[in-house]
Structure 1
Amino acid sequence: MENTKEVRTRFDEVAHQYDNQRRKLIPCFDDFYEIAVSIARTDSTSPHILDLGAGTGLFSSLILQKYPTASITLIDISEKMLETAQERLKGFSNVRYIVGDYTNFVSQETYDMVISALSIHHLSDANKWQLYQNSYANLKKNGVFINADQVLGHTPFIESLYKKDWKQKVEASDLSKDEIESAYERTKLDQMSPLETQVKWLQQAGFSDVDCVYKYFNFVVLHGRKTT
């Protein structure tokens, strides 16, 4: 990740209030996460799961509600965010935390699922492509990759629609002016890529059954499966 230091600093700063703001910053919060969890399917009752850019552990916590005996590894560049995740997941025993850049993470073990939420859009195109290849390598046969994230509008006009809708809804919330300005500052770290491009990258990385199973303006849930 080219902007590693800046991303770490920004998210360290907001770690302890991040979850309180998240529902107001994601207008489609409930559907976004519920659909991501609903497609997290595996035959194993105790799956091994890798959460990339895990942040405060929200996505992991929802997956653990579905698979309470899962073993899950959370990796994130922000130590402060992972401290919040540790507090959130303290009731679960099979949880491992890695502070670091997940961009080139290749594990010695393989996983039933690789998941991510609202993180990969901070990567450059080259790093996204590399990450998708690594995620494929990190999965077991029939393993599932799920990315709940944000994408770039495929034309400047569509992108402007996305931004206007989001800003309108954020500014209509009860977030303070400082909280809104902080959120706007964090968007400067975004390096979003178009949906169609990322679907193609997942297919080229080897994934089958690639689909965008949910879309709300620029919020999407992507699915892919390793069948060989």
Structure 2
Amino acid sequence: MDVTAAFDAVAGSYDQARRRLVPCFDDFYAAAVEVAAPPLRAALAAGRTPEVLDLGAGTGLLSLLLTAALPGVRVTLVDGAARMLAVAAEGLAARGVAHRTVLADLAGPLPPGRYDAVVSALAVHHLDDDGKRALYRRAADALRPGGVFVNAEQVAGPTPALDRRYDEVWLAQTAARGSDDAEIAAARERMRHDRPAAVADQCRWLADAGLVDVDCFYKAWRFAVFGGHRPVA
């Protein structure tokens, strides 16, 4: 089963397990929303509809949180899993959020347009390192001047020993939050498709793509929020 099929298979139940499998769920997603917010607030203040591109949007969880915090934002959601996108579209429509969905692989071209924010959550780690670098360049090119790229991501430890420690902590925290053996085994099966990279490497790739003020804004073991801005001039 490839990565798209693996996620389509759990589209209906995917969000129910998020708070168990992402132990830092609230802080993790809140940080991503806050990093993305400034250029969106600026667009709203200028009387313009902010445009957000959500890469690997899945069930639309990040877009839902972002548009709840900043009503009036329009989102374009890209994902290769049709069932996940259908769940996202249903949730956004129910909340009256202006949106469109694009069924596409993250390795391909991005939807045309200029975006105030390009965001992603728990998706880019499915690409290999060359794929990540190429996507970061495309994301930077898709931003308006002053726009922000935000990646809320599962990352690798900077050393093999730390990577093993990340996994030990994740396993203990998920079990403490109620994940049973079956749920953890299913997560492990999906994680076979993962190709995470260390935060420092990815921040360097963002800078190489032309972004500025690149930083890791939040990190809790294997979960990190990092990004940067397209220069204004």
Q: Same fold (TM over 0.5)?
A: yes
CA distance in structure 2 between the partners assigned to 1:150 and 1:93 by the alignment = 27
**Which of 201, 204, 209 pairs up with 2:208?**
204
Is 1:133 aligned to residue 137 of structure 2? Answer: yes
- Kept in 2, the 8 Å contact 1:104–1:134? The answer is no
CA distance in 2, matches of 1:136, 1:221: 17
Query: Contact (CA 8 Å) 2:149, 2:229: kept in 1 or not?
Result: yes
Distance 1:151 1:174 in 2: 23
- The alpha-carbon deviation at position 102 of structure 1 amounts to 2.2
Give the counterpart letter for 2:43 in structure 1: S
Q: Which amino acid aligns with 1:56?
A: T
Deviation at 1:71, TM superposition (A): 1.4
Partner of 1:193: 197
Check the 8 A contact 1:148/1:219 in 2, yes or no. Answer: yes
Q: What pairs with 1:30-109 in structure 2 (closer than 5 Å)?
A: 30-40=26-36, 41-42=38-39, 43-45=42-44, 46-90=49-93, 91-109=95-113
Q: Deviation of residue 140 (structure 1)?
A: 0.6
Q: Distance in 2 between matches of 1:93 and 1:215?
A: 29
- The residue aligned with 2:18 is 22
Structure 1 residue 6 corresponds to structure 2 residue 2: yes
SS at match of 1:87: helix
CA distance in 1, matches of 2:16, 2:97: 25
**Any idea what SS the aligned residue of 1:88 has?**
helix
Offset, 1:93: 4.5
Distance 2:121 2:229 in 1: 17
Question: Residue 151 of structure 1: CA displacement?
Answer: 1.0
The share of aligned pairs that are identical, in percent, is 40
Q: Unpaired runs of 5+ in structure 2?
A: none
Measured in 2, the distance between the counterparts of 1:175 and 1:87 equals: 27
The runs of at least 4 consecutive aligned structure 1 residues that moved more than 4 Å come to none
Q: Does 1:222 align with 2:222?
A: no
| C-alpha spacing 1:163/1:188, structure 2 compared with 1 (3 Å) | same
Amino acid in structure 2 at the alignment position of 1:18: Y
Secondary structure, aligned partner of 2:9: helix
Do the aligned partners of 2:125 and 2:154 also contact (CA within 8 Å) in 1? yes
| Contact 1:47/1:67, CA 8 A, preserved across alignment | no
* Partners of 2:73 and 2:97 within 8 A in 1: no
Unaligned runs of 5+ in 1: none
Distance 1:194 1:180 in 2: 23
Letter in 2 for 1:12: D
CA contact (8 A) 1:202 1:210 kept: yes
Query: Among residues 184, 189, 200, which one is paired with 2:188 in the alignment?
Result: 184
Amino acid aligned to 1:8: T
> Could you tell me how far apart the structure 1 residues matched to 2:187 and 2:149 are?
28
Aligned equivalents of 1:175, 1:195: Cα separation in 2: 27
Equivalent residue, structure 1, for 2:114 = 110
The question of whether the paired residues in 1 share the 8 Å contact of 2:203 and 2:227 is answered with no
Q: Is the 8 A contact 1:52 1:74 kept in 2?
A: yes
- TM-score, L = length of structure 2: 0.93
1:103-138 Cα offsets, whole Å, 9 max, x none, are 232333110000000000111001000000000110
The DSSP-based 3-state class of the residue aligned with 1:31 is helix
In the alignment, residue 50 of structure 1 is paired with which amino acid? Answer: L
2:168 aligned with 1:169: no
Q: How far apart in 2 are the matches of 1:178 and 1:220?
A: 26
